[in-house]
Amino acid sequence: MSFLERLHHCTISDLTGFRPWSIGKAQIGWLRDDVADTLRRYPSVFAVGDDAVVLQSHLADFDHRTAAVGEVVRALAELGIVQGWRNESFAVVADYGQPPLLRLERAAVPVFGVRAYGVHMNGYVRDGERIKLWVGQRAPDRQIEPGKLDNLVAGGVPFGLDPMTNLVKECAEEAGIEEAMARRAIPVGAMSYRMLHQGFLRQDTLFLYDLELPADFLPTNIDGEIASFRLMELEEVAAILSDSEAFKFNVAPVVIDFLVRHGYFKPDQPGYADLAIGLSAFQTPR
């Protein structure tokens, strides 16, 4: 699979089989048709039509929406539709930075097709003129993509945290990076994608960071999410991306972006322009 195909793997334009759902005039997400039809069981919460779903207007504030939708989510979990309960909630917003409309159990986010936000950090080391990248391998018990290769630090932004505060937390939990060092991470952009995964529609925006680490740094995982770490030459990283699907689906574009920004790929290489333009599509707000 080419590098450009890695990017295309995280895109979908045909939403046949899904219905948009809204809170007031704001479209919030996409529901698979069978899930939308299941919501007909809860008419006090959702008005379900053949083409769209709307949250009932009497649920007019954050607390009422959160409570009502939360009851439905628990019912969907009993039905086996929502799986892998996380006991962690995400904010549901019309656009990032706006007041949250409700909070939603993380396991239900893809089921309701709402936009989730996360942080991904490339941890790297300079060796003279060369750059080496720290790569983690996900633990075998992860609910999503167990055993796949990952960024040094990555995680969803839970309700109530801003991206940098969450990055500091994830740095400590996933790689044993102290706060003072974590706060040296440089924000380098964002990626937004929409894709089918495990039968549901994922709409994610990732805030991207780079952190240059000292040569003697050794990451230590605390929360059990990462089984091991390796410091890799960029040539090896690129070869893995090109020859296998070893990287987690949404980590591959982040790493490709790193390789472009740090000059591993150069304009005189075949396909460079298509790859750079393909990355720019991931930076278009959705």
More confident: 210 or 8: 210
Asked: is 18-113 a CATH 3.40.190.10 domain? The reply is no
Cα→Cα distances 84→99, 120, 252, Å: 27, 22, 24
pLDDT greater than 50 at residue 285: no
Within 10 angstroms of residue 129's Cβ, the number of other Cβ atoms is 5
> What gap in Å lies between CA 230 and CA 273, rounded to an integer?
30
**Of the candidates 130, 116, 137, which has an alpha carbon nearest to the alpha carbon of residue 29?**
116
Partnered with residue 32 across adjacent β-strands are 18
pLDDT attached to residue 1: 60
Its pTM stands at: 0.93
- What are the domain boundaries of the chain? 3-11+116-281, 18-113
Instruction: Give how far Cα 192 sits from Cα of 70, 229, 254, Å.
Output: 26, 26, 11
Each residue's pLDDT tens digit, 35-75:
999 999 999 999 999 999 999 999 999 999 999 999 999 99
3-state class (DSSP) for residue 159: coil
CATH code, residues 3-11+116-281: 3.90.79.10
Percent of the chain with pLDDT over 70: 98
What is the predicted pLDDT for the residue at 114?
97
- The pLDDT tens digits for 221-267 are 999 999 999 999 999 999 999 989 999 999 999 999 999 999 999 99
Whole-angstrom Cα distance, residue 13 to residue 19?
14
